[in-house]
Amino acid sequence: MTQPSSWLPGDHITLRGVGEKVFWAYPAILVQDAPEMIAYYLRAGTNGKNTSHRVAPDEMLDAHKIEIVDHQWHRTDVLMLAVPGDAFSVYFMWETGTRNLGCIYVNLQEPLRRTRIGFDSMDNMLDVVISPDMDQWRWKDEDEFEGAQRVGFYSPEQARQIRADGEQAIELVLSRRRSMYEKWKSWEPNPQWGMPKLSALWDRINLDEPSERSK
């Protein structure tokens, strides 16, 4: 079955980190699917898949050895926002079950790829953390990012591009698109939404292969 041109609010989708293999997968609830912004919600308590441990940069060079296990997302309820084509997503991270905004997290990643079960991407290790009032920011995981360069996971050109993507993201979120992101601070999930379930196809890298659609 072909992938949908768009999802509807309340649809259950599966988000995945896909490189040489599927490194993580979580079900989420679609909030908005529009040309200018895709938004989806990952609530604490959601069951998905992730690596068995925090993967070191050198382990990424031999990805088939990395074990993927059952994992439950916890600690935060997260609204994820992505502009199609951007090399980052913006996460509003609330303390579980509250409206206490812990931070705004800028996840540097490959642009979203639409699939028939949801969306795929791949993290780029370096990230940005922005204060809830959007007045301060800092880089996150710089040591890991530099380690990935030392072992050759990222070439110098790739590393420069990822950092440039981060600098652009900071400018967009804190300045040029600030009002667009700020309005999402007051967003609240629909209390009628249940807990989403992971697609049975979560581990299939090539979702273009014929198969019955499952969400």
- Across the chain, mean pLDDT equals 94
Instruction: Classify residue 184 by its DSSP letter.
Output: G
pLDDT digits (tens, 9 = 90+) for 99-117: 999 999 999 999 999 999 9
CA distances from 70 to 25, 80, 171 (A): 10, 22, 37
CATH code, 12-186:
2.40.380.10
Q: Nearest 10 degrees: CA dihedral of 200, 202, 205, 207?
A: 50
The backbone torsions φ and ψ at residue 21, rounded to the nearest 5 degrees and listed phi first, read: -150, 175
3-state secondary structure of 31: strand
C-alpha to C-alpha distance for 185 and 194, rounded to whole angstroms: 22
Give me the residue spans of the domains in the chain. Answer: 12-186
Mean pLDDT of 2-27: 92
Answer whether 0.75 is exceeded by the pTM: yes
Mean pLDDT of 53-72: 95
- Side-chain-side CA neighbours of 199 within 13 Å: the count stands at 28
How sure is the predictor about 74, in pLDDT bands with cuts at 50, 70 and 90? Answer: very high
Mean pLDDT of 11-37: 97
| pLDDT score, position 209 | 59
